[in-house]
Amino acid sequence: MRKNKNKRQPAKRKAASQTQNSKRPCSDSPKRTENPQLTPFEIFFKEIEKFSKLHMKDRDRVQEILQSMQKAGSKTLQVISDFDMTLTRFEYNGKRCPTCHNILERSDAISSDCKKKLQELLDKYYPIEIDSTLSVEEKLPLMVEWWTKAHELLVNQKIKKAGLAKAVKDSEAKLRDGYQYFFDHLNEHSIPLLIFSAGIGDILEEVIRQTEVFHPNVKVISNYMDFDESGVLKAFKGELIHIYNKKEGALLNTGHFQELRTRTNVLLLGDSLGDLNMADGVQDMENILKIGFLNDKVEERKQSYLDSYDIVLIKHETLGVPNAVIRFLTDSN
């Protein structure tokens, strides 16, 4: 897997922007209110249940998982997360926010004809991706077809590596509110964060670099661009990662999970049912708490998400709940 060549240092604490002009939002994490008459779990659930868009099929099961993770301690914890529409916002002020692919597709690096063709692919394949009446087996070849065609179009554009930073800077990409606490707190407690994305790794890294949260504890598995000696895109590296083959991607990166063999407790964040397989490479896993963001086609997909994720956040644009979980597990030690 491609490594970031630039040495990553902990982000400086200063006002920064998700786009170049807007200030970082404050941490969206409920403040713990001490009450000697309540147990730590009662306090925790009282805090997260303030989020009206939070749903749990089995509250007792969530408490059981958290109790076991708390007992094991934060040194056994790792976080595995999707990126697009999980760590990033789905929409802002009623307008859809761009994914990693969208950032590039909407930039000056892409011709108008290519933009039109990429939009046609999106219009054709996205409804298939979120169609609850189709099985994963039915969707899989179509997702491969979508990603392959999109990447071929991008390669033909002769995109320059030097232009990626500007494409991100000029975009409307936004991490979810509370992102600074999420990234900083994990780093401060030396908790590994694996971002597992079917997007474009080069763009993903640039987004978190420009928001100054690309800390040393972050590892990215994604689709990376391959540039020639002149810095022009010539291909995409390695095996294609798409929304429904993250299990295979996880199993191909056993070296990463081997290094974290003592991190047997997992907090998993995703926005699709395909994200549920991101932790399949974790060795000797003891507990996994799965938080799912249901952003679109809510009524059609709500039950399947409740059946698959421990906590479901419906049309919720913050990291408040994951932040509360992380703080609970770290502050309890």
In DSSP notation, 209-225 reads: HHTT---TTEEEEEE-E
Quick check: is 82 catalytic? yes
Catalytic residue among 28, 58, 60, 82: 82
Quick check: is 84 catalytic? yes
Catalytic residue among 28, 58, 84, 275: 84
Residues found in the chain: 333
What Cα–Cα distance (Å) separates residue 178 from each residue in 254, 281, 316? 31, 28, 12
DSSP assignment, residue 169? H
CA distance 303 to 29: 26
Name the burial class of residue 31, with classes exposed (0-12), middle (13-18) and buried (19+) by CB atoms within 10 angstroms of its CB.
exposed
Name the burial class of residue 108, with classes exposed (0-12), middle (13-18) and buried (19+) by CB atoms within 10 angstroms of its CB.
exposed
Instruction: Pull the structure tokens for residue 291.
Output: 């938080």
CA distance 216 to 254: 20
CA distance 140 to 243: 9
CA distance 43 to 41: 5
DSSP assignment, residue 101? H
Any idea which residues carry the catalytic annotation?
A: 82, 84
